[in-house]
Structure 1
Amino acid sequence: MPIARPRRNAVRTAASALGALSLLVALSACTDSATDTAPTSTVTPPSATTAAAEARITIRGFVFLPQDLTVRPGEQITVHNNNSVSHTVTATDGAAFDTGDIAPGQSATFTAPDTPGSYAFICSLHPRMKGTLTVV
């Protein structure tokens, strides 16, 4: 006797229903229990253009991530070193900014220049590491 197999449409319908149920459960977990309404904030995907509290450069694999970052004048930028050696974030033209040595696993913060423009930067310890900070 042949084994009965579910029809493709039935499998797709079940998968769609399961996906919708999972989404509903996830959304219900995000509600405010005091008013039972969904939060009013929205989630924005990360990008190289950031809000004031989010400006960040990560050093990983002897590369700045992102290599090009756009910020506002005077914005604070946090640099986290995920390598096993020290690094810096140092402006190549003048003294616009310089984190000094950042030890492995450590972070440093610097302030973006007040003057809009593009500021090339390097790691002064590893000059082949390059990036650009754009102040708008």
Structure 2
Amino acid sequence: MRRASLAALALAAAACGTGASAPTAHRVEIRAFRYLPDTVTAAPGNTVVWTNADVVPHTARAAGAWDTGEIGAAGEGRIVAGAPGTYRYDCAYHPTMHAVLVVR
């Protein structure tokens, strides 16, 4: 009887895991005034996290779509990917810094 109960419990747990997967986090490092990697592909609902390894503040912003706000030295900024599309983004303080977030 106990063995049958454990088997039923295992099957129930497996069935619960077949639904939608948990949101995924994508990490971008800011180092030497660059976004690494410079292209990230995410699904809607995924989180994108920027970690600043430089000693000066940065941002990550896509005009009219999203903005992390200031990310201080050793700090993090994050957004949740929204509508599908290709979002070219830059740093408000250092306009030569560019990267791309593809949401699909």
How many residues in Structure 1 have an aligned counterpart in Structure 2? 83
1:108 and 2:77 aligned? yes
Misfit runs of 4+, over 3 Å: 51-54
Identity, % of aligned pairs?
37
TM-score by length of 1: 0.58
Question: Which entry has the higher C-alpha Rg, 1 or 2?
Answer: 1
- Indicate the structure with greater strand content: 2
- C-alpha RMSD of the superposition: 1.4
- The alpha carbon displacement at 1:127 in A equals 0.7
The aligned runs of 1:6-45 (5 Å cut-off) are: none
| Post-superposition offset of 1:123 | 0.5
- Alignment partner, residue 7 of structure 1: none
Query: Within 1, Cα distance between the matches of 2:74 and 2:28?
Result: 13
State the match for 1:127 in structure 2.
95
1:63-78 aligned within 5 A? 63-78=34-49
Q: Does residue 66 of structure 2 align to residue 97 of structure 1?
A: yes
* Partner Cα separation in structure 1 for residue 79 and residue 25 of structure 2: 13
Gaps of 5+ in 1: 1-50
